[in-house]
């Protein structure tokens, strides 16, 4: 792994190939996939990351399915640089469900809820940003998706920060970016401003209703 950190990816590929030929374990396949990816060979990277996922589906906290989608996205971008101009690597709902148990993403017939998708995005981005610096369209897209989840959780500070970071990494869809920004601002306004007013109104109504019930009860007892 030292070779990957120092940038000697070709040597890393050779070392991991030797390791794979000798043991055929998860670690050799996953490391080989990462080395190929950093060398720019996304086709071989996809092959070995898929192999690693097959050997150990629970690896990296069960997030390697997203690594597969990332590599498929990079291959799509090699064929068409505008492939993700108006869509995302993760086919998340346009308007996210509020229920955290609803489907936020799918891969290979498997459904993932909000927590699983958030975990996958956070983990894969943490690993990826060690090696990948701005600008990178795939990382930008993943950051945008993570910002949407943060906004869906009403964690607006994180949502705004991730939107800004997505822009730094080269997120180019101004319409989607601005729509999300407006949505987050509107939700925050509703929660911070309108919700307290509604609660105050409900409390006042409850107070008046309680007072009226007490008055009615006293009147009945007096009449009796």
CA distance 185 to 188: 5
Please enumerate in sequence order all residues whose Cβ is within 8 A of that of 197, keeping only pairs 6 or more positions apart, or say none: none
Instruction: Yes or no: say if 68 and 120 are a contact pair by the CB < 8 Å rule.
Output: no
CA distance 77 to 91: 16
Q: Which residue pairs, CB below 8 angstroms and at least 24 apart, start in 31-40?
A: 31/1, 33/67, 33/71, 34/4, 35/3, 35/4, 35/9, 37/71, 37/74, 38/4, 38/9, 38/12, 38/131, 39/9, 39/10, 39/13
Residue 192 or residue 14, greater confidence = 14
Residue 119 or residue 16, greater confidence = 119
C-alpha distances in Å from residue 195, one per residue of 28, 96, 110, 149, 206: 53, 21, 37, 21, 16
185: confidence class by pLDDT, cuts 50, 70, 90: confident
End-to-end CA distance of the chain: 89
CA distance 49 to 130: 18
- pTM of the entire predicted model: 0.77
How would you classify the pairing of strands 110-112 and 105-107? antiparallel
Strand boundaries in 68-219, DSSP class E: 105-107, 110-112
CA distance 21 to 70: 26
Residue 55 or residue 192, greater confidence = 55
Domains of the chain, start order? 1-56 (1.25.40), 81-223 (no CATH)
> Per-residue pLDDT tens for 16-58?
888 888 888 888 898 899 889 888 999 999 999 999 999 999 9
197: confidence class by pLDDT, cuts 50, 70, 90: very low
> Per-residue pLDDT tens for 155-179?
888 888 898 899 999 888 888 888 8
Residue at token pair 């670690």: 27
Q: How many residues does the chain have?
A: 224
Residue 45 or residue 219, greater confidence = 45
């Amino acid at each position: 792994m030292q070779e990957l950190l120092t940038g000697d990816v070709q040597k890393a590929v050779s070392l991991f190939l030797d390791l794979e030929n000798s043991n055929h374990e998860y670690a050799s396949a996953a490391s080989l996939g990462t080395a190929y990816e950093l060398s720019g060979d996304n086709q071989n990277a996809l092959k070995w990351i898929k192999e690693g996922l097959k050997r150990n589906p629970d690896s990296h906290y069960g997030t390697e399915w997203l690594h597969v989608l990332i590599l498929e996205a990079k291959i799509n971008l090699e064929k068409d640089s505008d492939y993700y101009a108006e869509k995302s690597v993760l086919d998340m709902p346009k308007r996210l469900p509020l229920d955290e148990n609803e489907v936020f993403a799918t891969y290979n017939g498997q459904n993932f809820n909000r927590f699983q998708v958030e975990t996958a995005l956070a983990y894969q981005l943490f690993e990826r940003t060690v090696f990948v610096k701005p600008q990178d369209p795939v990382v930008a897209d993943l950051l945008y998706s993570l910002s949407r989840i943060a906004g869906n959780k009403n964690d607006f500070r994180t949502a705004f920060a991730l939107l800004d970071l997505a822009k730094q990494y080269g997120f180019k869809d101004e319409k989607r970016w601005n729509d999300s920004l407006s949505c987050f601002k509107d939700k925050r306004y509703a929660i911070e401003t309108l919700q307290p007013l509604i609660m105050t109104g409900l409390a006042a109504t409850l107070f008046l209703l309680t007072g009226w019930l007490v008055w009615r009860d006293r009147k009945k007892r007096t009449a009796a």
